[in-house]
Amino acid sequence: SPTLLWFRRDLRLADHRALLYAIELGQPIIPVYLHAEDDGGVWRDGAASQWWLHHALEDLASQLESLGSQLTIYSLESEDQLADFLIQLAEETGAKQIVWSRRYEPHFCQRDRQIKSSLTNAGILAKSFNNSLLYEPDEVKNKSGGHFKVFTPFWKSLKDQPPEKPLPSPVSLASLQPDYWPAGIAVSELNLLPSISWDAGFYKNWLASHQGAEASLKKSLSKAPNYQQTRDTPAIDGTSRLSPYLHFGQLSPRELWHSLNDRFGNDAAIVEGITRQLYWREFSAHTHYHFPHSTDRALKPEYDAFPWNYDEDIIKQWQKGETGYPIVDAGMRELWATGWMHNRVRMITASLLVKHLLQPWQEGARWFWDTLVDADLANNSMGWQWVAGCGADASPYFRIFNPIIQGKKFDPSGDYVRKWIPELAQLPNEYIHEPWTCPPLELISYGVQLDKDYPNPIIDHQKGRQQALDALAEFKSNR
Ligand code: FAD
């Protein structure tokens, strides 16, 4: 009897434990993708993720076809229909087992548990595999048997325990074709692409396919020796840009880990550069899994009472990259144009929003969620909470980034700002991160008039800093 292979955020054929298990069964394989419009509940995919998903599905379908198989796609109105739909599909195709890759976000854990039990009750064998993390969150414990809440001990306890080796992709699936292929729909019928074409920059920056993943992996390996020196400079393409491939499962984290170790195994400093970040990903996923409330509430619950000062207009200015702080605006514009933002700039933009501007971190997280091609609930919630001081091993709230100093330190040439804010392109370095300090007549000679071509700062740095510290004091006094 056929095996249904249910693809989710594991859109690859290499190192795919569920696929390899299905192959070992020696029964025909029917690969399917079920798109529920409300998949993920309130955290259903944002617009940038949908763009990526469209291309990743098209690519997966064509890879399967070239191996003599096919991807059958369905669209469902709601996730609540998934279990019944799978049971019906099993009846239609004669399948007796369904295999898939686990998702670890709390919403999916709970949902999948219910689906598994419905399938089991219907006499169908349901089996799931880890294809997105280096280790099973339930298997990683600290010395007292609890969960890590601080990154360094988490990293130290795991970094010398190699994750399982990646397994190769099959060379052909032709001999495992079923007698009967169920009828699905085309990827385009899922309507994942935007109706207004704001995605031109995405096409220029990304190849959302397995070739894209392989090329980025290859490039990251060749850049790895310089990673530590360049990773904090947004004007340099110094990081791997593998985040969307990891999120959509087009690249296995096991493959990344082993590729780095195989190539640079005797040079710990090189291996640990990117690997350490991969363990931050792992730490976020495990923390999110163990503390489900941290999706959109503070991991440290007392921070839910923080006196935020919600203001829609301020949030809009931040989203549009019109705060008057060049490094922040450059980041927000890079995000809008490409669906990605450099990690250092994610921290600076997030800090301005939650500290100087006192806006709830959840508002920033929501905007990133809609606009990032690598939007990942665990990494995003943890990243925002790290900045807001309420997450695991977070930067304390009183540590407030100065957006001018951050700009000067991490974009000393001003090239990053000039790339994303062309209206400031002629400014010399001494003013590029604080154009308001340039005498107005001189500024005009560089083609800039403040509040006409580029805004004045949305808030004075010292004032914003004091406001943030006062809010923290108020919060503490009310506890
Ligand atoms: P590299 O530096 O090449 O790192 C390799 C991989 O490690 C990345 O692809 C990513 O999977 C992982 N990684 C790197 N840094 C982190 C980190 N700080 N936390 C967790 N994992 C990390 N990352 C996302 O994947 N999705 C998000 O939605 C997301 N939102 C964020 C929001 C904020 C406010 C902040 C501060 C960070 C966020 N990050 C998020 C983490 C980080 O910024 C990105 O993973 C990184 O910039 C991706 O670029 P890269 O692939 O070149 O990273």
Average pLDDT along the chain: 97
Phi, psi of 30 (to 5 degrees): -120, 100
Q: In this structure, which amino acid lies at residue 402?
A: N
- The gap between the terminal CA atoms of the chain, to the nearest Å, is 61
Buried b (16+ CB within 10 A) or exposed e, 254-264: bbbbbbbeeeb
Distance 30 CA to ligand 1 centre (A): 34
Among 35, 32, 6, 11, residue whose Cα is nearest residue 21: 6
Query: At 414, phi and psi to the nearest 5?
Result: 75, 5
Contact between 460 and 350 under an 8 Å Cβ cutoff? The reply is no
| Tokens describing residue 345 | 């700039």
CA 283 – CA 280 distance, rounded (Å): 5
Q: What pLDDT shows up at residue 394?
A: 78
pLDDT above 90 (res 197): no
CATH code, 133-165+202-290: 1.25.40.80
Q: Which of 272, 264, 258 is nearest to 164 (CA)?
A: 258
**What sign for the dihedral angle of Cα 121, 122, 124, 126?**
negative
Amino acid letter for position 158: L
Please give the Cα distance from 478 to 447 (Å, whole number): 49
Ligand 1 probe mutation, 226, 232, 243, 319, most atoms within 8 A of CB: 243
CA dist 52 and 159 (Å) reads: 31
Strand boundaries in 72-204, DSSP class E: 72-76, 97-101, 125-129
233 is in an annotated binding site: no
Burial class (CB in 10 A: 0-12, 13-18, 19+), 120: exposed
Distance between CA atoms of 219 and 232, rounded to whole angstroms? 18
Nearest CA to ligand 1 atom 37: 383
Alpha-helical runs (H) found in 16-150: 17-25, 47-66, 82-93, 106-121
| CA–CA dist 112, 48 (Å, integer) | 25
Q: Does the annotation place 246 within a ligand binding site?
A: no
Q: Was 241 annotated as part of a binding site? A: yes
CA-closest residue to ligand 1 atom 29: 380
Protein residue with its CA nearest to atom 11 in ligand 1: 243
Measured distance CA(288)–CA(404) in Å, rounded: 33
Which pLDDT tens digit goes with each residue over 32-70?
A: 999 999 999 999 999 999 999 999 999 999 999 999 999
Q: How far apart are CA 245 and CA 11, in angstroms?
A: 9
Q: If phi over 0 gives left and psi between -120 and 50 gives alpha, with beta otherwise, what is residue 98? A: beta
Inter-residue contact 210 to 390 (CB < 8 Å): no
The mean pLDDT of 152-181, rounded to a whole number, is 96
- Ligand 1 pocket test, candidate residues 343, 349, 366, 410, most atoms within 8 A of CB: 343
pLDDT band at 266 (very low <50, low <70, confident <90, very high): confident
Backbone angles phi, psi at 306, to 5 degrees: -65, 140
| Residue 238 CA, ligand 1 centroid: distance in Å | 13
Q: Tell whether residue 102 is among the known ligand binding residues.
A: no
Residue 392 confidence (pLDDT): 85
CA of 343 to the centre of ligand 1 (A): 6
- Strand pairing class (72-76; 97-101): unpaired
pLDDT of residue 398: 86
Contact present, 154 and 41 (Cβ < 8 Å): no
Are the CB atoms for 276 and 284 separated by under 8 Å? no
CA of 380 to the centre of ligand 1 (A): 8
248 Cα–ligand 1 center, Å? 14
- Which residue minimizes the CA distance to atom 21 of ligand 1? 281
Residue intervals of the chain classified under CATH 1.25.40.80 are 133-165+202-290
pLDDT in tens, 286-326: 999 999 999 999 999 999 999 999 999 999 999 999 999 99
- What average pLDDT does the segment 156-165 reach? 95
Is the pLDDT confidence value at 251 over 90?
yes
Instruction: Quote the percentage of the chain above a pLDDT of 90.
Output: 96
Rounded CA-CA distance 227/275 in Å is 11
SS3 252: coil
Closest CA to 177 of 63, 14, 23, 13: 23
222 annotated ligand binder: no
For the stretch 215-250, pLDDT in tens is 999 999 999 999 999 999 999 999 999 999 999 999
Q: How much distance in Å is there from the Cα of 247 to the middle of ligand 1?
A: 10
**Residues with C-beta less than 6 Å from any ligand 1 atom:** 231, 239-243, 246-247, 274, 277-278, 280-281, 284, 343, 346-347, 350, 368, 372, 374-376, 379-380, 383-384, 387
Q: Which residues pair with 138 in a beta bridge?
A: none
DSSP-based three-state secondary structure for 14: coil
Atom number of ligand 1 nearest to Cα 283: 20
Beta-sheet strands, E only, within 355-405: none
- Hey, what are 192's tokens? 């994942």
Cα Dmax for the chain = 79
Give the pLDDT confidence of 391-445 residue by residue, as tens digits: 888 788 888 999 999 999 999 999 999 999 999 999 999 999 999 999 999 999 9
- Distance between Cα 300 and ligand 1 center (Å): 22
Helix (H/G/I), strand (E/B), else coil: 4: strand
Q: In what order do the strands lie in the sheet with 97-101?
A: 72-76, 29-36, 3-7, 97-101, 125-129
pLDDT at 380 over 90: yes
Query: Measured between alpha carbons, how far is 141 from 281 in angstroms, rounded to an integer?
Result: 17
Which of 240, 259, 277, 372 most suits a substitution to test ligand 1, by most atoms within 8 Å of the C-beta?
277
Q: How far is the CA of 81 from the centre of ligand 1 (A)?
A: 33
Is 227 known to sit in a ligand binding site? yes
For residue 243, report the distance from its CA to the centre of ligand 1, in Å: 6
CB atoms within 10 A of CB 462: 10
CATH class of 1-131: alpha beta
Q: CATH 3.40.50.620 in the chain, residues?
A: 1-131
Which of 217, 228, 367, 374 for mutating ligand 1's site (highest number of atoms within 8 Å of CB)? 374
376 is in an annotated binding site: yes
> What is the pLDDT at residue 23?
98
pLDDT of residue 92: 97
Does the 301-477 domain belong in CATH 3.40.640.10? no
